[in-house]
Amino acid sequence: MNKKETIQQTKLAYDFIQKLYLEVSYLIKEIEGLLAEEEENFIIGRSGGYAITARSSNGLEANNVYLWPLRMLSVFFVPRELTKKSRGQTITKFEDGIKVLHLRITLDEKDIEQPYLRIGVIHDIVVLSDRKYPNKFEQLNTHIEYNHSKVFAAGNEIDYEDAYVKFKAQYLQINLYDINSSEDIVVSVLSPALELFRSIK
């Protein structure tokens, strides 16, 4: 490949990744809008403002360079009455048997065939650490991202415990590129996820 082709390929690669990130942001916002209309009046969790939660790095070691581009990201949705807003963030305490809808998108990971999303319900959360960390779901979401390989080691039926926290979760998994319309979002993602959410007491 000559210099001109390399320059063109670099531009095409960045254009594609930017378009992919934009499409994912539109998907999350559409899900957010649809969930706001449900009887639970879901709102998106805000760990640090209106943003996704993701593990990333700008380190120069090879394993950290791998994390330069966002490969996995997540958001969560909680019934409005079960969280509080403060300074552009939400505070979702582990009280009264709280459960949340958790959306996690994997764009790239070793040994996966294609990008996919998981949507499910996290519940039965118990903090084990004497430091009382995590003490709200916003922190737990970050904890999950940094420990995703352990959390999802068993697949989509999760009974997870480490030194800090234990919780249960059930997820549905959908190939990302099978979602091509608002109808696909409702039929393949939200309807089964809401049915699961409402079945867990």
Residues 6+ apart with CB under 8 A from 2: none
Q: What is the number of domains present in the chain?
A: 1
CA distance 33 to 37: 7
pLDDT tens digits, one per residue of 143-182? 999 999 999 999 999 999 999 999 999 999 999 999 999 9
pLDDT tens digits, one per residue of 30-62? 999 999 999 999 999 999 889 999 999 999 999
Other Cβ atoms within 10 Å of 69 Cβ, number: 11
pTM: 0.94
Mean pLDDT, all residues of the chain: 95
Other Cβ atoms within 10 Å of 136 Cβ, number: 21
Q: Buried (b) or exposed (e) across 21-41, using 16+ Cβ within 10 A?
A: eeebeebbebbbebbeeeebe
- CA–chain centroid gap for 183, Å, is 21
Containing domain of residue 190, as a range? 3-199
